[in-house]
Amino acid sequence: MQQNNYCLLPTKNGDFRMYDTGNEMVRLICYGDILKQGNNPLLRIHSSCIASEVFGAKDCDCADQLNESMKMIATERSGFIIHLHQEGRGQGLSNKIIAISKMQVENIDTVESFEKLGLEHDNRSYHEAIKLLSSYGITKLRLISNNPRKRKALENAGIKVETVNTNPNIRPENKDYLYSKNLKLDHSLPLDTIMNETSAIHFYHSDQVWGELSNFSPHPIFLKNIIWQTVEHYYQAQKFRGSNLENKIHSADSPMQAKEIAHLNREKYNSEKWQEIKEGIMLEGLRAKFTQHPKLKKKLIDTNKRHISEHTNNDYYWGDGGDDSGQNRLGELIMLVREKL
């Protein structure tokens, strides 16, 4: 591993670094310096899936998980991803093509297909990832994963592991696949709570299930005679009203970037005063969004009395803390907007 050999990797999810691991089959991207990741870093060990990650295939959740991991890491402003070149749960691309074709022709699930072909269900090796981790002296980490075997492999190598679940992005094309992962491969994707129509609604990432509720969702709003790309742009810009930063945030490429600009300039606004008005500003932005987009308005009204929460352990104020220990102010404000629609 050449720790000095890296380049910047600006992505839609934030600015990462891509490091040279000395092995083309093992890729490493990191938010910040790989040697300054703290004593309990956030990590995704990800096995490649060319179909979804490169070509945009919709019938699995690999690219979604990678994308969500990048967002979690960018939100925390720390963490890294080890991307391993191992297709088809370690069976290689040829076998993967045969197995998927069999699934499609015979209308069977992924586990049955692997079985019929005499393939191990999960033949992935985490040896290279573990080697990298030990080279940084990492003995404890938070693993972004729903896969018990991945956790076990790290634990067997003497690493203390806490898992952080990823929320699946369910589509008609991948629904059966996700269910069979839970049923037959012991994964822990929270599918039932998402599909159940009276249960509480959890949202977080703007491109996942119920993501339209997020202040990061790509729904422009018209407020103060200006069109804002997202509620988040509007919200962050109000911290710097009348200054150049307001304009800079207004034209930020993404809500993530809008937030980033505000964060970098946090010394320049009166944060005490902001605490008093921030909920009012957020409410104003949300109200504009749900009244100015008729389809969205209908979708929110149709949630009836379902409880809504921003589900994340990254935020105990706007979010629910991941386990209802947070205040869920964003969810509360959305429910308040719903009452008046």
> Pseudo-torsion of CA 59, 214, 31, 6, nearest 10°?
60
CB of 100 to Zn ion, least distance (A): 9
Applying CB under 5 A, the span of 43-51, 70-78, 89-97, 118-126 interacting with Zn ion comes to: 43-51
What does 227-283 look like in DSSP terms, one character per residue?
Answer: EESSHHHHHHHGGGTTSHHHHHHHT-SSHHHHHHHHHHTGGGS-HHHHHHHHHHHHH
Residue 293's Cα: distance from chain center in Å?
A: 25
By CB under 5 A, residue 52 contacts Zn ion: yes
Note whether 281 and 235 are within 8 A (CB).
yes
Q: Using alpha carbons, select from 40, 8, 287 the residue that is nearest to residue 142.
A: 40
What is the token pair recorded at 81?
């991803």
CB of 241 to Zn ion, least distance (A): 45
Q: Which is nearer to Zn ion, 110 or 254 (CB)?
A: 110
By CB under 5 A, residue 60 contacts Zn ion: yes
Site size toward Zn ion, by CB under 5 A: 4
CB of 110 to Zn ion, least distance (A): 10
Spatial separation of the C-alpha atoms in residues 98 and 213, rounded to whole Å: 40
Catalytic residue among 122, 149, 171, 176: 122
Looking at the DSSP bridge assignments, the partners of residue 11 are: 14
Q: Is residue 284 within a helix (H) or strand (E), and if so which, with residue range? A: helix 271-292
Applying CB under 5 A, the span of 46-54, 71-79, 142-150, 269-277 interacting with Zn ion comes to: 46-54
Show contacts with Zn ion in window 12-31 (CB under 5 A).
none
Q: Give the other-Cβ count within 10 Å of 266's Cβ.
A: 10
By CB under 5 A, residue 103 contacts Zn ion: no
Catalytic residue among 89, 124, 287, 329: 124
By CB under 5 A, residue 49 contacts Zn ion: yes
CB of 68 to Zn ion, least distance (A): 14
Is 323 one of the catalytic residues? no
Q: Which is nearer to Zn ion, 60 or 143 (CB)?
A: 60
What is the token pair recorded at 283?
């409410």
Spatial separation of the C-alpha atoms in residues 42 and 141, rounded to whole Å: 6
Q: Which is nearer to Zn ion, 49 or 334 (CB)?
A: 49
Angle at 108 between CA 49 and CA 64, to 5 degrees: 30
CB of 51 to Zn ion, least distance (A): 6
Instruction: Tell whether the torsion through CA atoms of 248, 251, 253 and 256 is positive or negative.
Output: positive
Note whether 31 and 78 are within 8 A (CB).
yes
Work out which of 34, 42, 62, 81 binds Zn ion, going by CB under 5 A: 62
Applying CB under 5 A, the span of 51-59, 123-131, 235-243, 275-283 interacting with Zn ion comes to: 51-59
Is 124 one of the catalytic residues? yes
Per-residue binder mask for Zn ion (CB under 5 A), 156-175, x = binder: --------------------
Q: Which is nearer to Zn ion, 47 or 75 (CB)?
A: 47
Q: Which is nearer to Zn ion, 57 or 283 (CB)?
A: 57
Spatial separation of the C-alpha atoms in residues 251 and 267, rounded to whole Å: 21
Spatial separation of the C-alpha atoms in residues 65 and 165, rounded to whole Å: 10
Applying CB under 5 A, the span of 13-21, 53-61, 66-74, 105-113 interacting with Zn ion comes to: 53-61
CB of 92 to Zn ion, least distance (A): 14
Active site residues: 122, 124
Interacting residue ranges for Zn ion, rule: CB under 5 A: 49, 52, 60, 62
